[in-house]
Amino acid sequence: MKYTSCIHLEHGITFFSTSVQICCISSHPGGGNILQLENYHGEMIDWNKIFEKRNVLREGIRNGKIPAKCEGCYYLKEQEWNTDNYFDEVLIGHWTYCNCNCIYCYTEKDKKFFNSNITYNVYPVIKDMIAKGVLSKNATITFGGGEPTILKEFEDLIYLLLDYDVYNIRIHSDGIKYSPAIEKGLKLGKITLITSIDSSSPEVYKKIKQVPCFEKVWNNLEKYARTKNGLIRTKYVLIPGINDNLTEVKNWLQQTYNAGIHDIAFDIEDNWFKKYRNNIPKYIYVIFDFVNECYRQYNIESCELYERAYNLKIDRENSLKLSSEIK
């Protein structure tokens, strides 16, 4: 049946530190965060109950009742949807501790708490999903949260997913700690590694990350890049007032190529974007356009726009379309 929905509403699940939700998308007016389970701390899940709840939500969507928390989300699409019960969009983000201190991270408001907040072990839950056949081998498994490589169950969890033959594992890592499991997944061509560099100099890197690891991260990325098979992206989160200049951006693109990496990702700092979304300065568009249109000049093959950058792109397209229609 053809109707308006999204992959997360149909088949998504997200593990946070005290809840299970459908997705983590939150830049749209509705704000997202549709709960599946609250006060959750790693207990085994009755998947049939989750699917019963999902099917009620899905029935409302089929009848045109888009959840209020999804209002204005650009990920909604009208198409034919598979309504079988399985998960193929999984975000694992149940921990917050990290070996990096990015100034734009939501944990910045209380680093001491978040860096010591030890949560549940998600390995048995994912293993149960596999055993019960509710996790599709075609699933995209994304690691968010804090720093995944320092998560106790991380290596075992990656090996579990690789053995299950999941071939689209996305890992957001700061790149400070080298991971044998990531290396193996890259060699098998089953892992996409995304590392936010956000800079092209040790000085700007330290200002953003608050740790002196610029060279160490690039050395690890170069080592990962030698695996050849997996996909590696260096990411640039644009932070107005700190790394918002073309020289920094151009040098980042050149360093990416020099490291043997041919893919990038781009985003805009969350709080700033939400505050200025309707009044974006022109110079931000200049930087955005350069990254989005000129990356191939540096032998970069692809540019992935993350949530805020993607919303900026769509906002702009809609604005130009509206202006054209008015004329």
Q: Which amino acid is at 229?
A: N
Q: Which residue bears the tokens 């999903």? A: 129
How many Å separate Cα 278 from the centre of its chain? 24
Sheet holding 263-268, edge to edge: 35-38, 19-21, 12-15, 87-92, 135-143, 168-172, 191-196, 231-238, 263-268, 302-305
Average pLDDT for residues 7-18, to the nearest whole number?
Answer: 94
- Enter the CATH code of domain 2-196: 3.20.20
Give the closest residue to 267 by CA, choosing from 243, 300, 301, 299. 243
How high is the mean pLDDT of the chain?
93
The pLDDT tens digits of the residues spanning 234-287 come to 999 999 999 999 999 999 999 999 999 999 999 999 999 999 999 999 999 999
- Express each pLDDT in 187-226 by its tens digit: 999 999 999 999 999 999 999 999 999 999 999 999 999 9
Domain segments of the chain as ranges: 2-196, 236-327
Q: Report the b/e string of 237-260 with b at 16+ CB within 10 A.
A: bbbbebbbeeebbbebbebbbebe
Chain centroid to CA 209: 18
Using an 8 Å Cβ cutoff, are 12 and 76 in contact? no
Lowest model confidence (mean pLDDT) among 74-78, 178-182, 213-217, 240-244: 74-78
Mean of pLDDT values over 155-163: 98
Q: For residue 160, give both structure tokens.
A: 């579990």
Strand ranges (E), the chain: 2-5, 12-15, 19-21, 35-38, 77-80, 87-92, 135-143, 168-172, 191-196, 231-238, 263-268, 302-305
Note the Cα 320 to chain centre separation in Å. 28
Q: In the structure encoding, which two tokens stand for residue 68, read together?
A: 């209020």
Q: Report the C-alpha gap between 210 and 176 in whole angstroms.
A: 13
Q: What would the mean pLDDT of 21-39 be, rounded to a whole number?
A: 89
Are 103 and 208 in contact by the 8 Å Cβ rule? The answer is yes
3-state helix vs strand vs coil in the chain, percent to 5? 45, 20, 40
